[in-house]
């Protein structure tokens, strides 16, 4: 059951040591993670690497104080030392979190594997990179640069705590992406496509790498003839999948209970209130087995959940981790996640999306006299306390007389997440999840997914360069 981690009786003794001198709650989190990466750039394999990291994080809660210690020594003595250090830190009082890092023993891994997963030859991974590179370059002389990357990981975790929880998970993820640069007299443009699933190398039996590379190259070439984006406030139609990141960043973070508790969210104290158009149902779902943010248990041992956050425009609930849920006398929503064993878990999203609507997306476009159609959004900045955001449009087009016409470039979407939720007046029936992502929060990154059907926002500010 424990996949060779640590015997159950050792874990029980470790928890006992953690609360031996007083403690309301103690938890042991053990992790063994392997990863592999391959990168081809300018026709050459630039990187082919693998790594492994394993260790344990132990936390003890006394009142409002959390003590935390971590160690790479998974022997009983090493775990006991970490447990006692965490317990002592928690009993120090004063509230807040007091982290006690233990000195890490550097020792060679007994199991250095050059290729992951072990069943797949290195040559097979390199062959994928080369195939994608060839197809992308075959799209024409306008394609001047191609970078292709492959990554896989296997993360085994075990969680035990003084509530009697003993849970484990074996998380495998595979990721592939193609980035292309196209050059012409009009300048340089980029196109990127990526695919990722929480499965193994079988991903490449399901995904056509050649088609992925072709799309990335054609996106870059199409943008060469793009006109400068307009400026001003106008209707914006966001295409299926591609706009999910906006709602993840501008709305999702504000529904995380830790930010709500700090009053760092515009949604604080608003459960039961109308916060969005009645068309909008916003869901966070860690049980979506094929999506990037899926898992069996979160990093506190809670089974993944499907959590409705906003239903028909009304705020129903927030996302919760175990610690904040305990203080509220409720159950965790399965959103306690951490980047690795040496940091504390916090409230994090999994797969966050706006549920499907009923309108044909073609009708949404036809019903929009003029505006902007955004097929894909890039990076952005968000103030979670206010919901104000700026996002770059990586693929966008003009809407003129109810039709999608010319591609546009160099534009941003500027607005306020909670306000955007209220301004959605059309929702398509073509729901799709977007590209796999990594969500950063307080220095920790975790895999997440996001998605939307096609939708229309009645008024968004487009920051373009067109006069």
> Is pLDDT of 98 > 90?
no
Give the span between the Cα atoms of 437 and 147, in whole angstroms.
18
Name the residue with tokens 């630039």.
46
- Taking only the tens place, the pLDDT of each residue in 234-259 is 999 999 998 888 999 889 999 999 99
Percent of the chain with pLDDT over 90: 73
pLDDT of residue 111: 34
- Taking only the tens place, the pLDDT of each residue in 142-190 is 999 999 999 999 999 999 998 888 888 888 899 999 999 999 987 899 9
For residues 236 and 413, the answer to whether their CB atoms sit within 8 Å is yes
Name the residue with tokens 């807040």.
96
Token digits of residue 148: 């292709």
Percent of the chain with pLDDT over 70: 93
Pairing of strands 227-228, 403-409: parallel
Residue 135 in 3-state DSSP? helix
pLDDT of residue 135: 98
Ranges of each domain in the chain: 8-224, 228-463
pLDDT of residue 4: 61
DSSP at 361: H
> Is pLDDT of 195 > 60?
yes
Count Cα atoms within 13 angstroms, Cβ side, for 68.
14
If you average pLDDT over residues 214-227, what whole number do you get?
94
If you average pLDDT over residues 75-102, what whole number do you get?
75
424 confidence band (pLDDT: 50, 70, 90)? very high
For residues 99 and 85, the answer to whether their CB atoms sit within 8 Å is no
47 confidence band (pLDDT: 50, 70, 90)? confident
95 confidence band (pLDDT: 50, 70, 90)? low
58 confidence band (pLDDT: 50, 70, 90)? very high
If you average pLDDT over residues 91-99, what whole number do you get?
57
For residues 382 and 388, the answer to whether their CB atoms sit within 8 Å is yes
* Helix (H) or strand (E) run with residue 245 in it: helix 244-247
DSSP at 255: G
For residues 451 and 376, the answer to whether their CB atoms sit within 8 Å is no
Q: What superfamily in CATH does domain 8-224 come from?
A: PmbA/TldD superfamily (3.30.2290.10)
pLDDT of residue 115: 34
Q: How far is CA 15 from CA 47, 59, 216, 303, in A?
A: 42, 10, 51, 21
Least confident among 89-93, 226-230, 362-366: 89-93
Give the span between the Cα atoms of 241 and 71, in whole angstroms.
40
What is the distance, to the nearest Å, from the Cα of residue 218 to the centroid of all Cα atoms in its chain?
26
> Is pLDDT of 290 > 60?
yes
The conformational region for residue 76 under phi > 0 = left, psi -120 to 50 = alpha, else beta, is alpha
For residues 460 and 250, the answer to whether their CB atoms sit within 8 Å is no
> Is pLDDT of 379 > 90?
no
pLDDT of residue 456: 98
> Is pLDDT of 110 > 60?
no
Burial of 41 (0-12, 13-18, 19+ CB in 10 A): middle
If you average pLDDT over residues 340-355, what whole number do you get?
97
pLDDT of residue 451: 96
| Average pLDDT over the chain, rounded to an integer | 90
> Is pLDDT of 106 > 80?
no
pLDDT of residue 344: 97
Name the residue with tokens 């074996």.
170
- Taking only the tens place, the pLDDT of each residue in 258-272 is 999 999 899 999 999
CA torsion sign for 79, 85, 86, 87 is positive
DSSP string, 201-240: TTHHHHS-HHHHHHHHHHHHHHHHTPEEPP-EEEEEEE-T
Nearest to 387 by CA among 360, 359, 419: 419
Non-local CB neighbours of 314 within 8 Å, separated by 6+ positions: 272, 273, 274, 275, 276
Q: What is the pTM of this model?
A: 0.92
pLDDT of residue 229: 93
> Is pLDDT of 352 > 70?
yes
Residues found in the chain: 467
DSSP string, 381-414: EE-TTT-EEEEEEEEEEEEETTEEEEEEES-EEE
DSSP string, 93-114: -SSEEEEEEPPPP----TT--S
């Amino acid at each position: 059951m424990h996949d060779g981690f640590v015997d159950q009786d050792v874990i029980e003794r470790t928890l006992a040591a953690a609360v031996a001198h007083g403690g309301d709650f103690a938890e042991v989190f053990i992790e063994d993670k392997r990863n592999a990466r391959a990168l081809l750039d300018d026709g050459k394999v630039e990187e082919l690497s693998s790594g492994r990291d394993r260790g344990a994080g132990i936390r003890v809660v006394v009142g409002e104080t959390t003590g935390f210690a971590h160690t790479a020594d998974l022997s009983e003595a090493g775990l006991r030392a970490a447990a006692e250090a965490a317990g002592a830190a928690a009993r120090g009082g004063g509230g807040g979190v007091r982290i006690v890092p233990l000195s890490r023993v550097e020792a060679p891994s007994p199991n250095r594997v050059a290729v992951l997963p072990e069943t797949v030859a290195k040559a097979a991974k390199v062959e994928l990179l080369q195939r994608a590179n060839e197809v992308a370059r075959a799209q024409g002389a306008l394609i001047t640069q191609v970078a292709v990357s492959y990554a896989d990981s296997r993360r085994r975790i075990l969680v035990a705590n003084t509530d009697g929880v003993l849970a484990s998970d074996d998380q495998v993820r595979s990721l592939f992406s193609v980035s292309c640069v196209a050059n012409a007299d009009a300048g340089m443009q980029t196109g990127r496509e990526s695919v990722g699933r929480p499965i193994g190398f079988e991903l490449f039996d399901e995904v056509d790498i050649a088609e992925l590379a072709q799309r990335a190259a054609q996106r870059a070439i199409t943008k060469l003839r793009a006109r400068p984006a307009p400026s001003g406030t106008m209707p914006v139609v966001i295409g299926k999948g591609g706009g999910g990141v906006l709602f993840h960043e501008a709305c999702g973070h504000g529904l995380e209970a830790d930010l709500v508790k700090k009053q760092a969210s515009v949604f604080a104290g608003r459960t039961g209130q109308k916060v969005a158009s009645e068309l909008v149902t916003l869901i966070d779902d860690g049980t979506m087995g094929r999506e990037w943010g899926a898992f069996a248990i979160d990093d506190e041992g809670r089974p993944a959940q499907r959590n409705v956050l906003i239903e028909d425009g009304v705020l129903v609930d927030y996302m919760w981790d175990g610690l904040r849920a305990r203080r509220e006398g409720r159950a965790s929503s399965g959103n306690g996640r951490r980047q690795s064993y040496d940091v504390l878990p916090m409230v994090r999203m999994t797969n966050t999306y706006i549920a499907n609507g009923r309108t044909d997306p073609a009708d949404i476009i036809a019903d929009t006299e003029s505006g902007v159609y955004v097929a894909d959004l890039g990076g952005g900045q968000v103030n979670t306390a206010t919901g104000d955001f700026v996002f770059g449009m990586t693929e966008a087009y003009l809407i003129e007389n109810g039709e999608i016409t010319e591609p546009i470039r160099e534009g941003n979407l500027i607005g306020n997440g909670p306000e955007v939720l209220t301004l959605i007046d059309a929702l398509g029936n073509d729901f799709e999840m977007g590209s796999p992502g990594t969500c950063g929060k307080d220095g920790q990154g975790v895999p997440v997914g996001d998605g939307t059907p096609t939708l229309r926002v009645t008024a968004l500010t487009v920051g373009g360069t067109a006069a």
